[in-house]
Amino acid sequence: MNDFFTVSIIIATLASGIRLAVPFLLAALGEAVGQRAGVLNLGVEGVMLIGAFSAYYAALETGSAAFGLLMGLASGVAMGLVYALITVVMHAEQGISGIGIYLFGLGFTDLLFQKQVGTPKPISGLQAKPFDWLAEDTGRAGELLFSHTVLTYVAFLLVPVVYWLITRTTFGLNVRAVGENPQAADTLGVSVNGIRTAAIVIGNTMAGLAGAALALEIGIFQQNLTAGRGFIAIALVYFGAWRPVGVMAGSLLFGIVSSTVLQLQVQDVISGSVSSIANMAPAVLTVIVLVVVSRRIGQPAALTRPFTRDS
């Protein structure tokens, strides 16, 4: 039992938490961009599934995980355009459309998997660890920081990138303007539909990347591979108050609590029925923080509101 408190186990648990956080982080960062532009996408889970299957299938067929990654991204772009068409061009209700996208992704990937693949076949995913050589020289801390695969670094690198995009660029300014007051932005000559479409495509591309990261990291695909991660990512956007750093904190918290629960079970600190309750800990914790945070920080004023010039 006391083994849990050894440095190596704690490091392994934190490293595991970081790995678990990656799909949440990628998907939630993308969703944050979309929501800052006033578009809610409840279909993140479905897009993640499509990204995961595209990446897996492409990698399975070609033997190239990099090509798989590309296909995951491409499927995200395609789904982004579809969602923009539905919500921006056709002004459909965002909540329902998102659920439609989710159900489409769930059923469609399952169908394609059954038809094209059948039995789960392992692929060699993106296992390259670019900084592994540093991990050997820098001891335990190095193991925590440098023992990850490329996509983990990409995910965390995207935090400052998205922050910069939203807060330091004209595009980001327009995104925020469109998300807060699209009518005002429109009168100032900002293309509300154009900005929203771009934000949606960015969000969906990152959801596709999140799914691809999941499939390529595990090296397999299965029905409902994402297991609700897309929905948790949406919650983490609220948790992080629509700010990239907040989203990262939420993702890390969720991942590390999950990995801690797993490790506590391995060490027999918790077992039996207690473990069933402990498995809920990440979700419960997220909801609690969500309630506290979202009371203090308001959401983008025009979130979920379709834009038309007459409105």
Cβ atoms of residues 50 and 105 within 8 Å: yes
Specify the stretch interacting with another protein by CB under 8 A; choose among 11-19, 64-72, 165-173, 296-304.
11-19
Specify the stretch interacting with another protein by CB under 8 A; choose among 26-34, 129-137, 176-184, 219-227.
219-227
Query: Alpha-carbon distance 92 to 97, whole Å?
Result: 7
Of 25 and 241, the one with the shorter C-beta distance to another protein is: 25
**Considering CB under 8 A, how many residues would be counted as binding another protein?**
65
From 273, 295, 296, 310, residue interacting with another protein (rule: CB under 8 A): 273
From 119, 189, 296, 311, residue interacting with another protein (rule: CB under 8 A): 119
From 2, 115, 189, 296, residue interacting with another protein (rule: CB under 8 A): 115
Phi/psi zone of residue 219: left (φ > 0), alpha (ψ -120 to 50 degrees), beta? Answer: left
Binding map of another protein across residues 50-89, x = CB under 8 A, - = no contact:
----------------------------x--xx-xx---x
Phi (first) and psi of residue 225, to 5 degrees: -55, -35
Other residues' Cβ atoms within 10 Å of the Cβ of residue 170: 8
Outline where 113-149 has alpha helix (H): 132-137, 139-146
CA dihedral defined by 263, 22, 29, 58, rounded to 10 degrees?
-140
Other residues' Cβ atoms within 10 Å of the Cβ of residue 224: 12
Phi/psi zone of residue 139: left (φ > 0), alpha (ψ -120 to 50 degrees), beta? Answer: left
From 62, 121, 187, 292, residue interacting with another protein (rule: CB under 8 A): 121
Of 169 and 308, the one with the shorter C-beta distance to another protein is: 308
Of 206 and 241, the one with the shorter C-beta distance to another protein is: 206
Task: Annotate 31-67 with DSSP letters as a single string.
Answer: HHHHHHTT---TTHHHHHHHHHHHHHHHHHHHS-HHH
Cβ of residue 305: shortest distance to another protein, in angstroms? 18
Of 184 and 277, the one with the shorter C-beta distance to another protein is: 277
Cβ of residue 65: shortest distance to another protein, in angstroms? 13
CA distances from 128 to 23, 62, 212 (A): 17, 18, 15
Query: Alpha-carbon distance 308 to 277, whole Å?
Result: 47
From 96, 128, 161, 266, residue interacting with another protein (rule: CB under 8 A): 266
Of 186 and 294, the one with the shorter C-beta distance to another protein is: 186
The tokens of 140 are what? Answer: 């335990």
Residues at the site binding another protein, with contacts judged by CB under 8 A: 3, 8-9, 12-13, 16, 19-20, 23, 78, 81-82, 84-85, 89, 100, 103-104, 106-108, 110-116, 118-122, 125, 127, 191, 193-194, 197, 214, 217-220, 222-225, 227, 229, 258-259, 262-263, 265-268, 271-273, 275-276, 279-280
